Chain A
Amino acid sequence: MENKKDDDLMEYVPYTTDSRSFIAPTKYTLFTRLFIPWQLIKFAHYNIKMLRILSKGHGRFMDE
């Protein structure tokens, strides 16, 4: 299955406006984003992160 793009935005071109803030994921990053054992750990981590936000009480306060 060919999945080529017409313009390769992953390509770094030195001394261009684009190169000043160039950022792109590495192959390792792309692999870990879909690696299920690692993502199961991430899933637990995300739920803890969300609970921490919710534990702040939604910012809801009652007047004294």
Chain B
Amino acid sequence: MARIVVLGSGFAGNTAALNLKKALGRKHEVVVISPRKHFYYIPSWIWVGVGSMKPEKTQFDLTPVYEKFGIEFKNGAAEEIHPDDADRYVSVKYNDGKTEQVKYDYLINATGPKLNFAATPGLGPDEGYSDSVCSLPHAVKTKDNFLKAVEKMKQGKRQKFVVGTGHGTATCQGAAFEYIHNLEFEIAKRGLRNMADITWISNEPTLGDFGVGGVVVRRNGNFISGKLFAESTFREKGIKWVDGAHVRNVKEGSLDYVNIEGKEGSLDFDFAMLIPPFAGIPISYIDKDGNDIKSQMCVPSGFMKVDADYTSGAKPFEEWKNSDWPKKYNNLLYKNIFAAGIAFAPPHPISKAFKAPDGTLIAPSPPRTGMASGIIGHTVALSIIDMVKNGAEEPTYSASMAEFGAICITSMGKSMTGGSAALLTMYPVIPNYDKYKFGRNLNYTFGDIGLAGHWVKYMLHYLFIWKMKGKFLWQYIPD
């Protein structure tokens, strides 16, 4: 009997756990360790943050799901991993302070990110002056602050809104892009648009980069870049923008930034929603002699090393290759340990990394949320199933971000008749300029804006929650 332990219960962890248990049945044990007993549908938090969706609709309790599947659930936080053969276990700490050693044969690290607000002084809702939609409590607090600003506008007080990324190496520009459009939509819906100054600030080298090096699509007989696509939406909504910017600090009512050209500036705000950079969840890795081997297991930001070429990160953008990206997501020191979703360390950004003249790094980190997390979690599960059931010595399934595509639906207003969303498909996620003139296959790379995009986004909200609950025919809903 094999025991597979999954750390984390988000898109990657939950997808892996459900697929593992379905394939391995009662003969083998699947254990999920997570400090949160709910699954969170994170893509809809942008709606929670403007008050257009109730928080309860974006979460559900995982306990009955795991009971139904026969998955053991431990509601605690993994603190240490002891990976040596004679002594393989995860040390878990529960809320009541008790600890437990959970043994494993295979381990999937799908712990997601730590929100690294400390990277920018004054960033974040807890010890800073900006809001965030990166956790459910943050999204609820953001909604409260947004509605307070709306009330002030109703009383005739003009308000300044700043939305974007709060650091030069932040990721999830897409979520911030969704948030700024939903914020503008909700303000306009209330007839208060003339009372709001809305500004976008982002670490993307150009608008529409989204941390994936931008996209080119075929449209109306032309090849057009995502920059024009994003710029068009900002012009339409009267949103000003600052791109290629690293936020140096956030103070009460203002922030300071430097951009790629070295231009220093500041923005005043009454309300700011800024996405922080991510780091790996702090977990210690201890070898059989009691030595901390985290530096061998993880990159400095705390994400776990897998089968990627980490030497490529020191090379210039022009020398980055698709083969740099991981395929099987197993750690090379311990082949029974995998990392899925945000927990794996990418070899380098997807977008070209820039430095301001003073050396400040302005390089969007690669997004690997949602669809990518689900695909990777499922692929890792398939490899482990093959190793457990068929005795495969190495992981047998691969899914490189350089070989699979992604579908991104960017909400621009939540309404079934007056809302809209930008639908963007890309294949592959990592551009391949050797193979494709514009980096991607344009037969599969597509972008459009409209009401139908909102219907798709709304449909996927319920479809994925259905899948993550493991309900009837869940396994046929794609990752």
A interface residues (Cβ-Cβ under 8 A, vs B): 1-10, 21, 23-25, 30, 32-34, 36, 39-40, 42-43, 45-47, 49-50, 52-54, 56, 58-63
Q: State in angstroms the CA–CA spacing of A63 and B309 once bound together.
A: 20
Residue of A nearest to B207 (CB): A21
* B299 interface residue (CB < 8 Å to A): no
Assembled-state Cα–Cα distance A50/B400 (Å): 19
Q: How far is the CA of A56 from the CA of B478 in the complex (A)?
A: 12
| Residue from B194, B228, B425 in contact with A5 in the complex, judged by beta carbons closer than 8 Å | B194
Pick from B235, B425, B427 the residue with the most CB of A within 10 Å. Answer: B235
**Complex contact B452–A60 (CB within 8 A):** no
Known: A23-B228, A40-B452. 4 other contacts (CB 8 A): A25-B232, A49-B446, A53-B406, A63-B394
Given A2-B191, A39-B450, does the pair A53, B444 have CB atoms closer than 8 Å?
yes
Q: Which residues of B contact A39 (CB under 8 A)?
A: 450-452, 455
Set of chain B residues within 8 Å of A42, measured between Cβ atoms: 448, 450-453
What's the minimum C-beta distance from B398 to chain A, rounded to whole angstroms? Answer: 5
Kindly identify which residue among B193, B228, B238, B451 contacts A9, using a CB–CB cutoff of 8 Å: B238
What 4 pairs across the A-B complex have the smallest Cβ distances? Answer: A59-B404, A5-B238, A59-B403, A42-B452
Residue of A nearest to B406 (CB): A53
Given A30-B236, A60-B378, A46-B444 contact (CB < 8 Å) = no
Query: How many residue pairs at the A-B interface have CB separations less than 8 Å?
Result: 123
- Tell me which of B37-45, B104-112, B269-277, B416-424 binds A: B416-424
Which residues from chain A contact B449 at a C-beta distance below 8 Å?
33
* Inter-subunit contact A24/B444 (CB<8 Å): no
Q: Tell me the nearest residue of chain B to A6, going by C-beta.
A: B197
Q: Contact between A3 and B404 (Cβ–Cβ < 8 Å)?
A: no
CB distance from A54 to the nearest CB of B (A): 5
Partner of B236 from the list A7, A24, A49 (CB cut-off 8 Å) is: A24
Cα A33 to Cα B417 with chains together (Å): 10
> What are 21 A-B interface contacts by the 8 Å CB criterion?
A2-B191, A3-B188, A5-B193, A5-B194, A6-B197, A9-B235, A25-B236, A34-B450, A43-B456, A45-B452, A46-B453, A46-B456, A49-B423, A49-B446, A50-B456, A52-B444, A53-B405, A54-B478, A60-B397, A62-B382, A63-B396
Whole-angstrom CA separation of A46 from B110 in the bound complex: 30
Chain A residues with CB under 8 A of B423: 46, 49
Interface size on B, residues (CB 8 A): 50
**What residue in chain A is nearest B184 (Cβ atoms)?**
A5
Q: A7-B240, A21-B227 are in contact. Are A62 and B446 (CB under 8 A)?
A: no
Among B379, B420, B427, the residue within 8 A (CB) of A53 is B427
C-alpha spacing A2/B195, complex, angstroms: 10
Give the most central of A2, A45, A58: most B CB within 10 Å: A58
Residues of A contacting B197 with CB < 8 Å?
6
Cβ-based interface call for B239 (8 A): yes
Tell me which residues across on chain A come within 8 A of B240, comparing CB atoms.
7, 9
Residue of A nearest to B423 (CB): A46
For A24, give its contact among B193, B232, B386 (CB under 8 Å). B232
Q: How far is the CA of A47 from the CA of B407 in the complex (A)?
A: 11
Q: Which of A45, A46, A50, A61 has the most CB of B within 10 A?
A: A46
Q: Is B479 an interface residue (CB 8 A)?
A: yes
CA distance A63 to B383 in the complex (A): 10
Q: Are the C-beta atoms of A61 and B453 separated by less than 8 Å? A: no
Report the Cα distance A58→B402, complex, angstroms.
11
Give complex CA distance A31, B378 in Å. Answer: 41
- B324 within 8 Å of A (CB atoms): no
Complex CA distance for A59 and B236, rounded to whole angstroms: 36
Q: Quick one: CB contact mask for B217-237 with A, threshold 8 Å, 1 for yes?
A: 000000000011001101110
Q: How far is the CB of B260 from chain A (nearest CB, A)?
A: 15
Within the complex, the shortest CB–CB distance from B158 to chain A, in Å, comes to: 9
Q: Which of A25, A36, A43, A56 contacts B404 (CB 8 A)?
A: A56
